[in-house]
Amino acid sequence: MRSSASALGIDIGGTNLRAARVSPIGEILEFRSEPITRDPERVMERIAALCRALDEPGVAGIGIGIPGRVDVRSRAVLSGGYLDLTGSDLAARLEDRLGKPVALDNDCNMALVGEMASGAAQGFDNVVMFTIGTGIGGAIAVDGKVLRGRGTGGQLGHVTVQLHGRTCACGRAGCVETTSSGTALGRLIAEAGLPAGTLAETLLEREAAGDAVALRLLDAWVLPLRAAIDSVVAAVDPEIVLLGGGLGTPAHRALARAPSASAWYQCPVAPAQLGDDAGVIGAAVSALVDHLVEPEPPLAEAPRTAGLPG
């Protein structure tokens, strides 16, 4: 891979549309962000405008993290999240406008690639990542490559932790998203009679001071998450589990009081490091890894580029 090549990474977030030009080792070279709209056509226009603003001759391709299920091979968006891009033919339309190859993937997969390139999972080939925010997303890497199964593997927010629990948006009951997401935490806070908007960090401080209500609330939030983590560890046997998203760090702190109950399923759990940058970094690195850049001429055996997952 040319060491001078870069790529553009786009992260479609719930609040902001983020874009960056990124080096092959995950360094952000230039960054832009703007509030997002819920209109798919308008979002496509803004993505094109941001890419034009960041483009330069060394840019080899564009990667985009999508909030929803994505078939990477066909580049089809199969389901929408807070922005429904199903049926938009986003990749082909942007390629026509911008003249550069476009790679699409789920935003959680892109975040994991970012963490493997230059974050908390750097140096690991087998990684599980839960992203904890309004909902719970997930991604898995095995042998340095994102695990997709038939196309959309890694939906870790839909690991069942309560057989007869709340109905999930996916149509099943008791998914960890219904117990341990930001939405679930807000519901638990309301049920406990605490003020709306009480932060997870506040609950942790109150629990450390001996507050019984905060203790019960944190247990209700984090114990199902521990069950989900242990289940995925049993299935995948990763080297590390990362907790990302807006609530990843407080969830990691809360997990300290909920260690794995089984000696069989021990695995380090760590907070993600890149924050909101993970998505744009991973999207750009994915665009480069997906053979969008021609290899160096075979004059000599070139070393593998540091930090690239796969």
Q: How far apart are CA 34 and CA 308, in angstroms?
A: 28
Specify whether 252 is located in the same domain as 129: yes
What CATH number has the domain bearing residue 18?
A: 3.30.420.40
pTM: 0.87
Specify whether 254 is located in the same domain as 136: yes
Sign of CA pseudo-dihedral 97, 102, 104, 108: negative
Q: Is residue 1 part of a domain?
A: no
Closest CA to 192 of 222, 215, 171, 160: 215
Specify whether 188 is located in the same domain as 247: yes
Q: Is residue 306 part of a domain?
A: no
Q: Is residue 305 part of a domain?
A: no
| pLDDT under 50: residue ranges of the chain | 1-2, 291-310
Look at residue 290 in the predicted model and tell me its pLDDT: 65
Specify whether 148 is located in the same domain as 209: yes
Q: Is residue 145 part of a domain?
A: yes
Domains in the chain: how many in total?
2
Specify whether 136 is located in the same domain as 246: yes
59: β partners = 6
Place of tokens 């038939």: 150
Q: Is residue 297 part of a domain?
A: no
Look at residue 300 in the predicted model and tell me its pLDDT: 38
* Domain extent for 87: 6-111+275-292
The helix or strand, by DSSP H or E, that contains position 42, with its residue range, turns out to be helix 40-54
Q: Is residue 36 part of a domain?
A: yes
Q: How far apart are CA 267 and CA 255, in angstroms?
A: 13
Sign of CA pseudo-dihedral 231, 157, 310, 28: negative
Q: How far apart are CA 137 and CA 107, in angstroms?
A: 9
Q: How far apart are CA 201 and CA 56, in angstroms?
A: 42
Q: Is residue 307 part of a domain?
A: no
